[in-house]
Amino acid sequence: MKSYWENKFITLLHKTPKTKEEVEEMEYASEQFGRELDIEASELLKEIELNGLKVNELWDLVNTREPYPEAVDILTEHLKKPYHIKNKEGIVRALGVKEAGVKTLRALLEEYPKFDDKHVKFAFRLSLFNILKLNNPKKLMAETNESDILIKELIQLFIDNKKLSLNRFDKLFEEDFAEKIIDKQNVK
C-alpha cells in the first residue's frame, strides 16, 4: 500500500504542466516519502551498525565500492521482512556482492517470485549475477546441499560459461529459471 506522500509525489510527478507551487510541493512530497523509507529501514541500519558498520541510509550500501561483509547476513535476513518495494530493492541490490554466498542465493531465489515490478525483478537478477560472477563457482557449488537444485544449475551455468555477460545471463534466467522458481514456490 502506498503512503500519502508517495501517492502525492507520484501524482505530481505525472502531472504536466506543473506550476512552480506544484514543483515545490512535489519536492516536499519526495522528501517526506524519503523520510518514511528511512524510518522503515532504521532497524535494519541499527543492526548493521551494531555489527560494526555505520551507514546513513540503505542505498549507501548499494552505492559504495567498499566491501561490507558484516552486513550481508543481516541484509539476507531482512530480505524476508515486509518492506516497501523501494527499500526491498535496496536490500536486494546491496546483496549483490562477493561477500554473499549460497545462503543469500537461496534467499534471493525464494523472494524473487513474490514481486511483479520489473525493476525489482531485474535487481534480483542483477544481484544473483553479481554473486555468481564475483565468486569462485566451484567453491559456491561445494557450499550447496542436495535440495539446492536451482542454485546448482545457476552455478553450473557460470562454470560452463566463464565469460557470461549480464545481458546473456538475464535472458537465460528468464528463459530457463524464472518459471522453475515460480513452480518451486507453488509446490511449497
Strand ranges inside 136-180, DSSP E: none
188, containing H or E segment? none
For residue 109, what is the DSSP state? H
pLDDT at 125 over 90: yes
Please give the mean pLDDT across all residues of the chain. Answer: 92
DSSP-assigned letter for residue 113:
G
* Percent with pLDDT over 70 in the chain: 96
pLDDT (average), residues 73-79:
98
How many whole angstroms separate alpha carbon 89 and alpha carbon 84?
Answer: 9
What's residue 113's pLDDT? Answer: 93
Q: Which residues, including other chains, have CB under 8 Å from residue 147's CB and lie 6 or more apart? A: none
Give the mean pLDDT of 62-69.
94
The model's pTM is: 0.89
Predicted confidence at residue 176, as pLDDT, reads: 85
In 3D, which of 116, 117, 110 has the Cα closest to residue 150? 110
The backbone torsions φ and ψ at residue 43, rounded to the nearest 5 degrees and listed phi first, read: -65, -40
Degrees (nearest 5) of the Cα angle 172, 173, 179?
120
Q: What per-residue confidence (pLDDT) applies to 1?
A: 64
pLDDT mean over 25-45: 94
Give me the DSSP letters along 51-65. TT---SSHHHHHH--
DSSP-derived secondary structure letter, 136: -
The H or E element spanning position 142 is helix 137-143
